[in-house]
Structure 1
Amino acid sequence: MLLLILACTLAALTMLPSLELNSEYINLLPPKEEHRMLRQEVLNVSGSTPGDLYCLIEGEQVFTADTLNAVQKVLDELSTLEEVKKPLSPFSFVTVQKKGTRLSTFPLSPVKEGSSWTDEDAKIFKQRLEADEIAKGLLSTEEGNALLFQVALKEKRTDQADVHQKIRDIVNILSNYAEVSLIGTPLFEDRVLFYLSHDLNRLLILCMAVIVLLFYLAFRSKRAVIIPFSLSLIALVWTLACMVLLGYALTVVNIIVPSMVLILGSSYAIHVLSEYYRSLSANATKEERNQQIVDSVTRISKTIFGACLTTIVGFLSLLICELEAFKELGIAVSLGIFFCALLSMLYIPAILSILPTPKQKDLRTFTHGPIARLVHTLSLRSVRSWPVAIILFAALLVSFIFTKQQVSIETDYLTYFPKNDQLIAQSIAFAQEIGGSDPHYITLTAPEQEKNYFLRPDVLQQVHAFEEELLRTNKDITHMLSFSRYVAFLHSVHQGTSQIPDTPGLLLTLSRLLVVVSKQMEHPMLSSLISEDGSRITITVRSFDSRYNSWESLESVQKLQQSIRDARHLLPSELIIDDWGVGVDALRMSKSIASDQNRSLLLSLVLVLFIVIIQFKSFKTGVFALVPTLTGIMGNYLFMYLLDIPFDVVTIIFASVTVGVGVDAAIHFLLRFRRRQAEHPALPYEVVVAQTLEDTGRPILLTSSALILGLLVLLFASFLPIRYFGLLLSFALLVTTFATLFILPSLMIALHKLSARSRRRP
């Protein structure tokens, strides 16, 4: 058996180098198909495009010859990189001027290619930039003290982080002249990758240290350290190998898989070793000892099987979630749990059979040590103070009803990073100056895709009124770019008033000029404003959270969508409106997360109840088994409410996980109680409960301590959701343990007394 386990482990080890880290947080929930198609058609980008980078240059010396020469040099170097498209910058932007009765195009930059900037050129450039209502706010701040250029990346590559570093090295030259910020979704993914790899190593080491320390303190024996530690490592290697075979990568969600497998693996080992130490005789012969090993494993097998099955059910309930990352997490951890349970039934007995019998002092420490004395005291307290536990349970139930709907949901990925991360600080500063780097798009489609629909003056005037209403009522909007606004700008240059022309001829002329400007710029930004057949236009909105003067939040996305609904009456009724973008996807993901949590929790509760009812052949016992788990979940809602901890992409699964993991101790207690009651039917009910608590209290405390301390290791993670997950699940298991040792016995005693009283009535 040991040779077979060794061979499987060596084979699994050869697969581990193929395990990848996936840093794509934003795409955890892919956009709707219709939005994906709009993105591809409007922006002319595919799903594999990594996204854009934005460079903000600000300071008093921005509009000087030295700084602008340095900017030009940087743009020239970026243009030579094969990995990027031609940057969009104020230097490449084309504006218009009136010559006689006609409009003509000319570049914002007065410097010809290959020439150097002078202070006079810089002055002219600034004047032109401030006069162009489209460029101002798009490629500079409204105050005119900064410049912005945009670098569009080509297809995503395996060495994408190296490409970003090349760009960063080139752009950093500008820090000698002004304050420079380089931000964008691709850079966030780089930071995610850094933190994932950093956390993976750190958390694994800390989990291993906790397991070793806890087992040594609990058993004071080398074998009690080496056996569970090696079991957890083997199960972890097998689990990671299965992830490779299934094509899974480690993401910001399932980065907790290795830690969970290590922690859960140790809990099963505690049950087996505790049963072994409890039943072992120090002077037994080898044959007697082997038989005692078999008997111990046989007795504890129902507990291991029940705990394994219910925990797997808790995680597999995530399969009904919409987010693929949740499904992968559920499958990966379920495999790890299965391997842990299997190894505890096969690997531990095989190892114990070749090791010498534990020393007498080790056995005495186990049965009469501090933990044993603590368990004895707790068992007496639990039985005598059962009314207090009932009152506490009732109070917790009331608080849960009050707080359940008060916990918020957070999907803003900026809040997940460490607050001292430089990229986060720069991104928030960027949002305050320019707005978010991920625009909100509003696409208007003509009825039945009528050609040239938006070249009708009456229609475009209504669209323009709609946009003006959005700007008037929504203070989160920092910039808006659209076909109607560009036409109004051209009209202001031509006629002196910013409005939509009343005649189709002038409107058609101005729209053709837009095509000319777009081609001269060699950038799809302006061409995305209206489709070639004039049947669709797209409004690009850049916004931030004006309440907190920070990055766009879910509240600001909802606020913008409400503004769109409120201003809808200004548009032709037959128009079709689609709003889309990263913010919309994040909002949809928050709703999906809430729905996933409710459905997976309900499913896990039903399945666990069904399993326990079958195992015990009793509906009442099945309900008893869920009492500690429900207590833990209710306690966590109160905990989250008091500490203002939100649900997020990781913590949302804590309830389903608690159902699977938290019910293990209750099953162990109820199995031993039923056996005790069958062996001693004449004993008073309270005495059987107290004896059961003494039998099971030690392994329950040890397994719970291992789980709680192991989960608290997640507090050292870089990402806030993972830290919250460790804190919440460890607190839930702490409450679950308390409920198993106090509330569950108290409810059993209370119901027994009520039943006995009803039987005595005539």
Structure 2
Amino acid sequence: MTGISRAERFFEGALRYWWLVLLAGVALIAATAMSLPMLTKDTSADAFIDADEPALVYKERVEEIFGLTDPIVIAVINRGEDGVFTPDNLALVERLTRAVERLPQVDPDRVVSLATENNIVGTEDGLIVEGFLDPDTEGFQAPLGTRARAEEVSAAIADFPLYQGGLVGRRGTATLIIAEILDDDLATAAYDAVMALVAAETIPEGTQVHVAGEGAVAGYLSTYIDNDASRLNPMAGLIITIVLLVAFVSLRAAILPNIIVLATVLGSFGLMAASGTSFFVITNGLVVNLIGIAVADSIHILSAYYTVLRDDPAISKRNAVARAMAQMWRPVTLTTITTVAGFLALSASSVMPPISAFGLFGALGVALAWLYSMTLLPALLTVWPTRRIPYPFGQRKDGTQRRNAAERLMTALGRVVLASPKPVVAAGGVLTLVALAGASQLVVNEDRIENFKPSEPVYMADKAINADTDGIYNLDVLIETSRPGGLYDPEMLRRIEALQVFMESLEGVGGTTSIVDYVKQLHRAVNEGRPDFYTIPDDADLVAQLFFLYGASADPTDFEEEVDFDYQRALVRAQVSTGQYTNNKEIVPALEDYLRTTFNDEAATATATGRITVNYYWVRGIDQSTLLSVLLAFVAVTVAAIIVFRSLTAGLLAAMPVGLSVLLVYAVMGFAGIPLGVGTSMFAAIAIGLSIDFAIHALDRIRDIGRSEGLGPQALMALYPETGRALFFNFIAVAGGFGVLMTSDVPPLIKFGSLVAVAVSVAFIASVTLLPALVTLLKPKALLAPEPKEAAHASCPQTA
């Protein structure tokens, strides 16, 4: 055993008990995977914000008080001369409304449309409160189903500002059916049921029916990501397998890494399920991450194993595995540490639970990949029935080593780089300056509907509905007065009216609704419908009498979405036509500033909430958390590299390709106008953890060369044939795996996958060009053999 390293001795000893290693590996896979059936999905927008965030707390409070959730919105749109006010279209609204009310996933008392809402008109005897589409009416003279009745309904809507822009588009081209879902967990079933109802309907010529709203988005997104995952994950596995076959021309080298990949993925998602963590939209990209990472370790270990067999044909299979593991355990462990650091930095820095979970379970997955690569893979190699050396590692008939295309390519690259190191470094400097200019143009933006391709029905529905109405995104304000009945106070109602005027002045806000709109309509109705009485009465008792009079003529619960039972709390709801963060970041702070400086006092307080406000707060943290995650990840991997190489210089050299790769991708985003959003914000921390793998493998090999042969250009050529080849196929596997995400149907995953693939590509190229060029020029002492110590006692000169 003389001359055998401790690492090789350890692996030889462990592999004597290969059967025990295999049993332990299978047991661990089973233990971590057994919880997989418990994994649940969460596709709601609220998943991206902390449960204690005030905007979300108040949104949930509004849901509790007023019964308002994120709804499914059905739009009937006709841009013809009569718009939606035709007998056929009104009949369609009636049929769809009643069918939706019967759905088990929908609250039948919370379906709003022309078929459920009332018109309010005054008579000499009081009020007439009756449904727009009721068959027997006093205020509408024409029979239901006639053109005359449709014209009467159109005229009534034109005389009822409350319904304009929201329930019916201001041009009369669209009308909405708004359905509240009983439980968020029923969103998928509710969306599917609504789509089935629409598909079964007879749609009048020239009319379109669209289904959108946050309830629809959450409902369809679950099915959407399932379909996406079922296509992407097998494709990623297939591409990785093809890369392995091309790299090694060996069935063994294709099968064994896939076992490691499968064990890693099952373990990661099993732990996710066991911890009660949900599967979020972005979690779809984690599988591809883990596939690329797990297979990269296998590529380096297999390359070392086949090289050992080629160089020592007489060695036993177990000893060959042990020697290969002794060579590779260190760089594989180092790259694992740095990749885990990148994922943990992402987890620790993100304010969004889905991204935090992505980072945490990504780190656990990387750790599992390392564990299985260190134990299960060598055990499987040991028991594989043959020890055939694959073609790329074989020898020619004359006994010389066979050079495959990858080795020749990397060797040729090495000659170019090492012959002209100064131009290579200069090019890297110029590229860095250009990248800094591009990165400075980066902006933050996010829109939840952009999770879908423009060709998807829910995407087209969102755009169509927002174009023909005031908008289906809600910006809410919860008003809380200091006493019951506080909303009878005319002064309080005028303050709410002024708030509505201010909200409607904000960019993107189409219209607002509140209890004030009902008060003004009732006041006008009891005064013979005169327009000059569309005002707030000056007497609190008169306000109370108006509500009493309405309750005597209709259902008093008709106001429950605008005011509570005690008339102490009210909701002001604004319709916004876009979910773009670039718009929301202007209107939410402006509204909150108005409430703080102009509205709130001892008599009443107002709090901004609703979907727009909640989305603003979780997206707002992207730029801050992204910068923090990048800094944490970069510092973490740099410190890890410094520690493992025991050298500040070597650690900084390892970090250089990583920094350049991330900076260059930010530059691409800045120049191309790609915003920093959910999918693009988390690429950097992950790319840092992945990219430094190339630098560490290259630098570890350079250090071995430096200590034995020095750091001259001729000596460094030894980096390229074997390590360079392994890095090349490592790069192809990782970049190819992430490149699969570019075929996703989820746009954020497309951007995420393409950006990581670009970052990994830049890191690989920099690690085999810029890094060796710098080493050649600088010749850092940390990568050279230590100088021999001087003799303890110098000889004294002879004296006469």
- The structural deviation recorded for 1:145 is 4.0
Counterpart of 1:751? 778
Q: Return the alpha-carbon distance in structure 1 between the equivalents of residues 390 and 91 of structure 2.
A: 83
The within-5 A match list for 1:285-434 is: 285=314, 287=316, 289-320=317-348, 321-354=350-383, 355-359=385-389, 361-364=391-394, 368-434=403-469
Q: Return the alpha-carbon distance in structure 2 between the equivalents of residues 723 and 412 of structure 1.
A: 15
- The structural deviation recorded for 1:452 is 4.4
- The structural deviation recorded for 1:238 is 2.5
Q: Return the alpha-carbon distance in structure 1 between the equivalents of residues 85 and 670 of structure 2.
A: 50
One-letter amino acid of the structure 2 residue matched with residue 29 of structure 1: I
- The structural deviation recorded for 1:304 is 0.7
Note if contact 1:67-1:174 (Cα within 8 Å) is conserved in structure 2.
no
Are 1:72 and 2:94 counterparts?
yes
Q: Return the alpha-carbon distance in structure 1 between the equivalents of residues 66 and 586 of structure 2.
A: 29
CA RMSD of aligned residues (A): 3.0
- The structural deviation recorded for 1:674 is 2.0
Long gaps (5+) in structure 2: 1-20, 138-142, 396-400, 783-800
One-letter amino acid of the structure 1 residue matched with residue 621 of structure 2: S
The within-5 A match list for 1:475-554 is: 476-493=508-525, 494=527, 496-497=531-532, 498-513=534-549, 520=555, 522-523=557-558, 526-544=559-577, 551-554=578-581
Note if contact 1:465-1:570 (Cα within 8 Å) is conserved in structure 2.
no
Q: Return the alpha-carbon distance in structure 2 between the equivalents of residues 684 and 144 of structure 1.
A: 78
Counterpart of 1:184? 213
- The structural deviation recorded for 1:625 is 1.2
Distance 1:404-1:700 versus aligned 2 partners, 3 A rule = same
The within-5 A match list for 1:89-100 is: 89-100=113-124
Distance 1:743-1:111 versus aligned 2 partners, 3 A rule = same
Are 1:461 and 2:494 counterparts?
yes
Q: Return the alpha-carbon distance in structure 2 between the equivalents of residues 36 and 565 of structure 1.
A: 15
The within-5 A match list for 1:144-183 is: 144-157=172-185, 160-177=187-204, 178-183=207-212
SS at match of 2:351: coil
One-letter amino acid of the structure 2 residue matched with residue 53 of structure 1: I
SS at match of 1:339: helix
Are 1:275 and 2:304 counterparts?
yes
Distance 1:79-1:414 versus aligned 2 partners, 3 A rule = closer
- The structural deviation recorded for 1:608 is 1.7
Note if contact 2:120-2:521 (Cα within 8 Å) is conserved in structure 1.
no
Counterpart of 2:229? 200
Are 1:231 and 2:251 counterparts?
no
Q: Return the alpha-carbon distance in structure 2 between the equivalents of residues 276 and 516 of structure 1.
A: 88
Note if contact 2:478-2:572 (Cα within 8 Å) is conserved in structure 1.
yes
Note if contact 1:90-1:135 (Cα within 8 Å) is conserved in structure 2.
no
SS at match of 1:97: strand
Equivalent position to 2:76, from 33, 36, 57: 57
Note if contact 2:600-2:606 (Cα within 8 Å) is conserved in structure 1.
no
Per-residue CA deviation, residues 626-672 of structure 1 (Å, 9 max, x unaligned), is: 11100111111111122222222122111111221111121112222
Note if contact 2:687-2:756 (Cα within 8 Å) is conserved in structure 1.
yes
Distance 1:45-1:209 versus aligned 2 partners, 3 A rule = farther
Are 1:585 and 2:614 counterparts?
yes
Note if contact 1:130-1:144 (Cα within 8 Å) is conserved in structure 2.
no
Name which of structure 1's ranges 417-426 and 530-539 shifts more when overlaid on structure 2. Answer: 530-539
Note if contact 2:476-2:574 (Cα within 8 Å) is conserved in structure 1.
yes
Per-residue CA deviation, residues 374-420 of structure 1 (Å, 9 max, x unaligned), is: 22222222222221222222223323332334222232011221111
Note if contact 2:74-2:211 (Cα within 8 Å) is conserved in structure 1.
yes
Q: Return the alpha-carbon distance in structure 1 between the equivalents of residues 640 and 125 of structure 2.
A: 84
One-letter amino acid of the structure 2 residue matched with residue 735 of structure 1: V
TM-score, length-normalised on structure 2? 0.85
Are 1:724 and 2:740 counterparts?
no
Q: How many residues align?
A: 738
Equivalent position to 1:664, from 693, 702, 713: 693
Counterpart of 2:245? 216
Q: Return the alpha-carbon distance in structure 2 between the equivalents of residues 340 and 754 of structure 1.
A: 33
Q: Return the alpha-carbon distance in structure 1 between the equivalents of residues 69 and 411 of structure 2.
A: 61
Q: Return the alpha-carbon distance in structure 2 between the equivalents of residues 744 and 428 of structure 1.
A: 49
- The structural deviation recorded for 1:457 is 2.9
- The structural deviation recorded for 1:99 is 2.5
One-letter amino acid of the structure 1 residue matched with residue 666 of structure 2: Y
Note if contact 1:714-1:723 (Cα within 8 Å) is conserved in structure 2.
yes
Distance 1:263-1:566 versus aligned 2 partners, 3 A rule = closer
Name which of structure 1's ranges 450-459 and 260-269 shifts more when overlaid on structure 2. Answer: 450-459
Distance 1:37-1:696 versus aligned 2 partners, 3 A rule = closer
Note if contact 1:9-1:237 (Cα within 8 Å) is conserved in structure 2.
yes
Q: Return the alpha-carbon distance in structure 1 between the equivalents of residues 77 and 675 of structure 2.
A: 35
Q: Return the alpha-carbon distance in structure 2 between the equivalents of residues 587 and 340 of structure 1.
A: 37
Note if contact 1:382-1:742 (Cα within 8 Å) is conserved in structure 2.
yes
One-letter amino acid of the structure 1 residue matched with residue 762 of structure 2: V
- The structural deviation recorded for 1:96 is 2.5
Distance 1:46-1:279 versus aligned 2 partners, 3 A rule = farther
Are 1:609 and 2:633 counterparts?
no
Long gaps (5+) in structure 1: 545-550, 756-762
Q: Return the alpha-carbon distance in structure 2 between the equivalents of residues 8 and 229 of structure 1.
A: 17
Are 1:696 and 2:723 counterparts?
yes
SS at match of 1:207: helix
TM-score, length-normalised on structure 1? 0.89
Counterpart of 1:760? none
Equivalent position to 1:648, from 670, 677, 692: 677
Are 1:242 and 2:267 counterparts?
no
- The structural deviation recorded for 1:585 is 1.6
Counterpart of 1:547? none
Note if contact 1:71-1:174 (Cα within 8 Å) is conserved in structure 2.
no
Distance 1:187-1:742 versus aligned 2 partners, 3 A rule = same
Q: Return the alpha-carbon distance in structure 1 between the equivalents of residues 114 and 83 of structure 2.
A: 16
Name which of structure 1's ranges 116-125 and 736-745 shifts more when overlaid on structure 2. Answer: 116-125
SS at match of 1:176: coil
Q: Return the alpha-carbon distance in structure 2 between the equivalents of residues 585 and 572 of structure 1.
A: 21
Q: Return the alpha-carbon distance in structure 1 between the equivalents of residues 508 and 562 of structure 2.
A: 21
Per-residue CA deviation, residues 595-619 of structure 1 (Å, 9 max, x unaligned), is: 2212222222222222222212111
- The structural deviation recorded for 1:512 is 4.4
Note if contact 1:658-1:729 (Cα within 8 Å) is conserved in structure 2.
yes
Q: Return the alpha-carbon distance in structure 1 between the equivalents of residues 63 and 711 of structure 2.
A: 76
- The structural deviation recorded for 1:81 is 3.5
Q: Return the alpha-carbon distance in structure 1 between the equivalents of residues 599 and 745 of structure 2.
A: 47
- The structural deviation recorded for 1:40 is 4.2
Counterpart of 1:758? none
Per-residue CA deviation, residues 251-270 of structure 1 (Å, 9 max, x unaligned), is: 21111122111111110011
Name which of structure 1's ranges 26-35 and 426-435 shifts more when overlaid on structure 2. Answer: 26-35
SS at match of 1:334: helix
Per-residue CA deviation, residues 159-190 of structure 1 (Å, 9 max, x unaligned), is: x5334333333344554324222222222123
Distance 1:457-1:57 versus aligned 2 partners, 3 A rule = same
Are 1:734 and 2:761 counterparts?
yes
Note if contact 2:415-2:717 (Cα within 8 Å) is conserved in structure 1.
yes
Distance 1:161-1:80 versus aligned 2 partners, 3 A rule = same
Note if contact 1:110-1:121 (Cα within 8 Å) is conserved in structure 2.
no
Are 1:253 and 2:282 counterparts?
yes
